């Protein structure tokens, strides 16, 4: 038997259910990544993606396999490769954005036509979206705290072993991702490096400091959070493997649960990136391109807001506390549309994803899941609490 493994944002070999499943069910496995040009991935994420693919290729080769890389429509390319290698099955990790759901539907139909067995695997979240639903009715949790309780009491799947050997069909060879996809210059001068090897190195280096997380995660200059979000976004690190890592404080698991929470919100409300989630949410935004540009450039004159926006431009990442302040300033102080803020973040953030970016923006703008939608983060007060000596502001001025 031969299976094509269509890789998406599950770019790892550890706790990779689709890879493990494909290797368990088929003698030969053809790992394939297809870059869809219609997605137009911005520079920072493109660079990180290329680094992740290069690292994954090495890990696959190390186990006797390789990685095929194509550019085009993922469904058409998967079928093309499946025909070329004489595959009888396709494996893919299930995902929840509108784009991913459409891809899954089209892949299902194409596989039926081609008589290929399609198998979907978990792996993007700790608990699959839809696996816990409120006993009080409805198809998803709208409020975080009850979800957090249900999430903790849920029986999670076990982690899967990394296949020791991956066998390609005879005559099939892999591709250098850079040769197929071209180089990606990126936009930010000092970003994090992509790939599973780097993800695991960072986790190992951060774990001894994890106990300080509950007290220090909001400390802006202390920069004591794990900075694993880009690795979770591209699946360089399994969120489940991370969640079952010993030594993580509950406060950290709670943040991982927020990530799952927004994924189940997106699964139930695919328009999270374009429409207010909360029924009846008032949306009266100003049109002020100059104010928007000043915010984007970190030139509002409000020190903490500007520092956050400059960190974003420099690193393709921003501290969560600064994300809250900059987003609140754009929507609640300037009165500008959260969609414009989310689009700017999506352009620069390496970790930007449809669920977390839009879910958090809507939360801050008061159109989403916050039970106190009128809440506003005062930059002055936040500076006093989380950057009292002005160190973070100085760093980014
Ligand atoms: P840690 O504090 O170490 O947390 C561990 C992990 O938990 C993170 O890597 C992340 O996967 C998850 N997490 C933490 N906080 C949140 C949260 N509020 N919502 C969802 N997951 C969370 N996060 C993204 O991954 N992608 C985004 O596009 C994104 N956009 C955001 C936009 C706004 C306006 C705001 C306020 C927050 C946004 N976040 C987003 C959430 C959060 O800011 C980042 O996940 C966090 O800063 C990443 O840094 P870290 O890995 O050091 O986090």
The pLDDT of residue 185: 86
Q: Does domain 125-154+196-268 have CATH number 3.40.50.300?
A: no
Which atom number of ligand 1 is nearest to the Cα of residue 256?
7
Nearest to 235 by CA among 259, 214, 269, 209: 259
CATH number of 289-395: 1.10.579.10
Flag whether the pTM goes above 0.90: yes
Q: What share of the chain is helix, strand, coil (3-state, %, to 5)?
A: 50, 10, 45
Kindly provide the ipTM of the predicted complex, given to two decimals: 1.00
Kindly list the domain boundaries of the chain, sorted by start residue. Answer: 2-123, 125-154+196-268, 289-395
The pLDDT of residue 297: 98
The pLDDT of residue 216: 97
- The average confidence (pLDDT) of the chain is 97
Residue of 231, 265, 356 best suited for mutating to test ligand 1, as the one with most atoms within 8 Å of CB: 356
Give residue 279's pLDDT band: very low, low, confident or very high (50, 70, 90). very high
Please work out whether the CB of residue 345 comes within 6 Å of at least one atom of ligand 1: yes
Which atom number of ligand 1 is nearest to the Cα of residue 217?
2
Task: Check for a shared fold between 125-154+196-268 and 289-395.
Answer: no
231 annotated among ligand-binding-site residues: no
User: How does pLDDT run across 300-353, given as a tens digit for each residue?
Assistant: 999 999 999 999 999 999 999 999 999 999 999 999 999 999 999 999 999 999
CATH number of 2-123: 3.40.50.620
Distances (CA, A) of 340 to 108, 315, 357, 375: 34, 20, 12, 20
Distances (CA, A) of 344 to 177, 302, 338: 27, 18, 10
Which atom number of ligand 1 is nearest to the Cα of residue 341?
34
Please work out whether the CB of residue 217 comes within 6 Å of at least one atom of ligand 1: yes
């Amino acid at each position: 038997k031969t299976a094509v493994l269509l890789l998406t944002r599950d770019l790892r070999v550890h706790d990779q259910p689709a890879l493990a499943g494909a290797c368990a069910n088929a003698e030969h496995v053809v790992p394939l990544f297809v870059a869809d040009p219609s997605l137009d991935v911005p520079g920072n994420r493109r660079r990180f993606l290329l680094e992740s693919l290069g690292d994954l290729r090495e890990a696959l080769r190390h186990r006797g396999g390789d990685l095929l890389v194509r550019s085009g429509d993922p469904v058409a390319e998967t079928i093309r490769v499946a025909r070329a290698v004489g595959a009888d099955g396709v494996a893919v990790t299930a995902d929840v954005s509108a784009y991913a759901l459409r891809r899954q539907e089209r892949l299902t139909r194409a596989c039926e036509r081609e008589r290929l067995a399609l198998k979907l695997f978990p792996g993007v979240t700790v608990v699959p979206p839809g696996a816990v639903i409120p006993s009080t009715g409805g198809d998803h949790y709208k409020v975080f705290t009850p979800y957090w309780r249900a999430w903790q009491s849920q029986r999670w799947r076990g982690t899967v072993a990394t296949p020791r050997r991956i066998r390609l069909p005879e005559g099939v060879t892999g591709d250098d991702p850079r040769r197929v996809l071209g180089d990606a210059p990126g936009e930010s001068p000092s970003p994090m490096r992509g790939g599973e090897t780097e993800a695991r190195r960072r986790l190992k280096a951060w774990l001894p400091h994890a106990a300080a997380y509950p007290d220090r995660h909001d400390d802006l200059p202390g920069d004591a959070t794990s900075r694993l979000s880009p690795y979770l976004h591209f699946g360089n690190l399994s969120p489940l493997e991370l969640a079952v890592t010993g030594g993580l404080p509950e406060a950290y698991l709670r943040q991982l649960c927020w990530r799952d929470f927004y994924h189940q919100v997106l699964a139930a409300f695919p328009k999270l990136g374009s429409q207010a989630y909360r029924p009846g949410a008032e949306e009266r935004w100003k049109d002020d391109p100059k104010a928007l540009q000043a915010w984007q450039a970190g030139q509002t004159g409000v020190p903490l807001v500007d520092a956050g926006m400059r960190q974003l431009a420099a690193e393709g990442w921003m501290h969560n506390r600064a994300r809250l302040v900059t987003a609140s300033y754009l929507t609640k102080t300037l009165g500008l549309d959260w969609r414009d803020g989310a689009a700017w973040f999506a352009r620069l953030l390496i970790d930007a994803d449809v669920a977390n970016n839009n879910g958090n923006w809507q939360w801050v703008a008061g159109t989403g899941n916050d039970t106190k939608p009128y809440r506003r983060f005062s930059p002055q007060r936040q500076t006093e609490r989380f950057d009292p000596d002005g160190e973070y502001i100085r760093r980014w001025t």
